[in-house]
Structure 1
Amino acid sequence: MPTISAGRLAVILGSLVALGPLAIDTYLPALLTMAGHFQVPIHDVEISVSVYVMGVAAGQWLGGPFSDQFGRKPVAYGGLLLFVAGSLMIPFSADVQQLYVLRFLQALGGGATAVIAAASVRDHFSGKEAARVLTTIGLVMLLAPLLAPAIGSLLLSTAGWESIFYMLAIYGMMLGLVVAFMLPTVSAQGGNEPLRKRLFTSYGRVVRERRAMGFILANALSFSAMFTFITDAAFLYMDYFGLSAAQFPIAFGANVVTMLALNRLNVILLRYYETAAIMRAGLIIQSVAAMVLLLLSLSGWLTLWMVIPLVMVVCGMMALVMPNGIACFLSLFERDSGAATGLNGTLQFLMAGVVGAALGSFHNGTPLPMTLLMTMASVSALMLFLLLTREEPRS
């Protein structure tokens, strides 16, 4: 029987998962200012977004098995310590290369902290109930990217870009208190298996589960489609379409409003449909929207008022894809829930980081590279889902 209510657990874990969106979205309005500070093109500073997600990938890869071995709380404490330390040092970066290093350190801690969220859900709930809790976590988490650009713009205009990272450090410290006094303690799952062996064997058990890998890879690629936009959002809206730093949070926040609405829709859909069916519908709609964006880019007909609603659809579908995908693959594991969550997060952020880095490398001053990568990621997610998650017919 659960030792904590679903609503309370969702709020606690949502505040942990929100660490990632806050660390990325609060400083998006400051990218142009930071580029001026470091005297580099904006695309050089945009690379720090991809560096962050690569660090999150590494943090989740380590944090998943560590949380199975030692428990959820100790991993969260260690992760938050790294995150706070990185946040406090970033304002003193001497150049953009040092910024990359410190963002990676910050992300390593953030990834290790966030990975315990889905695994903690599996500690208390399973099946459709787990999907509902994960959806509620998504609702709490979505408040971060809704508010983050506005908070970043306010801090940028009143106290400079450095204040954004001081705010992140304070938030990390507050999360330490939340973990200490509000998150239930769950016994470690480590058993007698040595940690150095568990780091690889637990992942091996996850990788060999075909259907789980279908859900995990589809999650990762679908997220990459959205993250491609996030990486290029400052260029797309402020440089290409000429929006101001004050207008940017409104255009960016439209995506989060869509995700919030679809998050609530997912709760209703779970009463009538299976989690995998909802995920499939989300992947199909996301792929269609991304392909329309690509066609408009190729034709030269892409306008701001076409981009905003289509991007809203691509990003909004994550509210149907992500929580249902996580619930689907966690239902296949009992012992290795931390490792499964870690692999999901690792691939999710690793692929997003690679796609983001590719975007920076091939950027040509137009939205075409962004829309091409969004289409490739979303269509690949749908194909892998259809190929790998089907159940074998019973003989």
Structure 2
Amino acid sequence: MQKFTLMLLSLVLLAPLGIDLYLPTLPDIALGLNTPVSLIQTTIPIFLLVMGLGQLVTGPLVDNYGRKPIALLGLALYVVGSAVAATASNWPMFLSARLIQGCAVCCSAVVAFSGVRDRLSGDAAARAYGFLNGALNIVPALAPLLGGLLASAFGWRAPFWFLCAYGLLIALIVLLWLPETRPADTLRVRGVPLAQYGAILRQPRFLAFAFANAGALGMVLTYVSLAPQVLMNEGGLTPIQFSFAFGANGFWIMLVSAFVNKTIRKAGRPFCLAMGFVTMLAGALLLFAGMHLLPQTMQAHWALYMLPVAVSVAGLAFTVGPATSYALEPYQQQAGVAAALQGFIQMAGGAAGSLLIVMLPVAEKSALALMMLAGAALALIAWRCSRKMHGSLTALK
């Protein structure tokens, strides 16, 4: 099972690598393509929006054709998208590359999360989702530094050639060793299963947990989108210092996720959801306090951004594993469809929420604090829903 989980992790890593590896090179990409850096920054939420929307299509595909073929299709798209980004000569070409990559990672994400649901359930599934989430944070811990070093040595195109090589390597691993886990009694669908999506969306329980994930992701995405401006332009950090600060936060989430995996066994999933609410609320309050209670000369210090962020992103670790397992638990015969819909709400909802918050006419730190509050509110709703659940669950028809 450990080997299987690690292979799923290699697929899930495609998405954060596609975001974090090129963060330190955003100004260089803008200069190289003669495009405003603000346009290059929009490729982060656009990437996630495409990933979320695409899962509505790939969900039925993994149920109809199996997990492994769709994983290979996604990897092929990822390699193509990375190569196009590495050779882009203008903004439309670069944007097209990011759209292709977004389509690719929606395939790999649905395969990974439906694969966990195929093999595990209950607290065991929650721990697996928590492991994937925790291990994912090695990417924000190391990818910006790796991307910065590659760009310094070989130019801004080098990180995308790295992604191309990674995609080829994982495709070989999947082809040779990833087992097909689709259950024999999986319900097949024709086209986009609107009726099935509608039936799942009518379940308040599913919505509560899916939107809790969306709120946590939106909070982290807002932090990631605003971090270069706050830490480098306002806080005075160099690109390398930014990479280390950004990476340290990734290691922190990984440690918290390891703690959460143990906490699930001892205290249960409802307790973890409650802690998600508490930590995101505490992060928002600390951020507001730093903005309004400290002297003006201290407010630009990078630590007054990163410390509240460290508290709040712990809420992501506490929320995602339990919420995902609760959301998908009733859908053993519809794992691909349910995982796709959950992923769509998480990715598209989180990205849309982040975009709306960032577009508000408020300072960057205020925008992040508001998104933290939204994430805390959604985690609170999920916790209250989990408190009402008793006994075991069977598949919903």
Which has the larger displacement, 40-49 or 13-22? 40-49
Shift of 1:188: 5.6
Match of 1:205 among 194, 199, 207: 199
Equivalent residues in 2 for 1:264-275, closer than 5 Å: 264-275=258-269
The offset of 1:171, in angstroms, is 0.8
Describe the shift of the 1:233–1:189 C-alpha distance in structure 2 as closer, same or farther (beyond 3 A).
farther
Q: Give the Cα–Cα distance (whole angstroms) in 1 for the partners of residues 338 and 38 of structure 2.
A: 34
Who is 1:102 aligned against? Answer: 97
Partner Cα distance (1:189, 1:313) in 2: 43
Deviation at 1:383, TM superposition (A): 4.5
State the distance in 2 between where 1:380 and 1:82 align.
Answer: 37
Match of 1:307 in 2: 305
Question: 1:368 aligned to 2:368?
Answer: no
Deviations 1:15-43 (A, max 9, x none): 11111111100000001111222333322
Aligned residue among 68, 71, 79 for 2:66:
71
Q: In the alignment, does 2:238 pair up with 1:240?
A: no
Report the CA distance between 1:187 and its aligned residue. Answer: 3.6
CA change 1:73–1:333 in 2 (3 A) is same
Q: Which residue of 1 aligns with 2:257?
A: 263
CA RMSD of aligned residues (A): 2.3
Label 1:193 to 1:113 Cα distance change in 2 as closer, same or farther (>3 A). Answer: closer
Residues 323 and 382, structure 2, Cα contact 8 Å, conserved in 1: no
Alpha-carbon displacement from aligned partner over 1:299-354 (angstroms, at most 9, x marks no partner): 65633122111111222321211111111122222111212211121111112322
Cα offset for 1:13? 0.9
Partner of 1:351: 349
**Partner residue in 1 for 2:83:** 88
Tell me what 2:376 maps to: 379
Q: Distance in 2 between matches of 1:270 and 1:130?
A: 11
Looking at structure 1, the residues matched to 389 and 52 of structure 2 have their Cα atoms a distance apart, in angstroms, of 31
Q: Distance in 2 between matches of 1:361 and 1:282?
A: 26
Q: 1:202 Cα shift?
A: 2.4
Residue of structure 2 equivalent to 1:252: 246
Give 1:216's match in structure 2, choosing from 186, 210, 213. Answer: 210
Q: Which stretch shows the higher mean deviation, 92-101 or 266-275?
A: 92-101
SS at the partner of 2:238? Answer: coil
Q: Do residues 17 (structure 1) and 15 (structure 2) align?
A: no
1:135-146 maps to which residues of 2 (within 5 A)?
A: 135-146=130-141
Amino acid at match of 1:72: R
**Residues 1:184 and 1:250: Cα distance change in structure 2 (over 3 Å):** same
Count of residues paired in the alignment: 387
Quote how far apart the aligned CAs of 1:281 are.
1.4
Question: What amino acid is the match of 1:84?
Answer: V
Hey, what's the Cα distance between the residues in 2 that align with 1:392 and 1:252?
Answer: 38
Report how far residue 133 of structure 1 moved: 2.0
Please list the CA deviations of residues 272-303 of structure 1 after superposition, one character each: whole Å capped at 9, or x if unmatched: 12213212211221122123313433565633
CA distance in 1, matches of 2:285, 2:92: 35
Greater displacement, 353-362 / 79-88:
353-362
Match of 2:328 among 309, 327, 330: 330
Matched residue of 1:186: which SS? coil
More deviation, 332-341/370-379: 370-379
Unaligned 5+ segments in structure 2 are 392-397
Fraction of identical pairs, as percent: 26
Contact kept in structure 2, 1:139 and 1:263, CA below 8 Å: yes
SS of aligned partner of 2:231? helix
Equivalent-residue separation in structure 1 for 2:77 and 2:273 (angstroms): 34
Q: Distance in 2 between matches of 1:246 and 1:381?
A: 35
For normalisation by structure 2, the TM-score amounts to: 0.90
Which piece of structure 1 moves more, 276-285 or 293-302? 293-302
Distance 1:95 1:158 in 2: 22
Q: Which amino acid aligns with 1:47?
A: T
What letter is aligned with 1:70?
Y
Unaligned runs of 5+ in 1: none
2:276–2:376 Cα contact (<8 Å) kept:
no
Residue 214 of structure 1 aligns to a residue whose secondary structure is helix
What is the CA–CA distance in structure 2 between the aligned matches of 1:115 and 1:338, rounded to whole Å? 7
2:35 matches 1:40: yes
With the length of structure 1 as denominator, give the TM-score of the two structures: 0.91
Q: Which residue of 2 aligns with 1:278?
A: 272
In the TM superposition, what is the alpha-carbon distance from 1:98 to its structure 2 partner? Answer: 3.1
Shift of 1:267: 2.0
CA contact (8 A) 1:214 1:389 kept: no
Q: CA deviation at 1:101?
A: 2.4
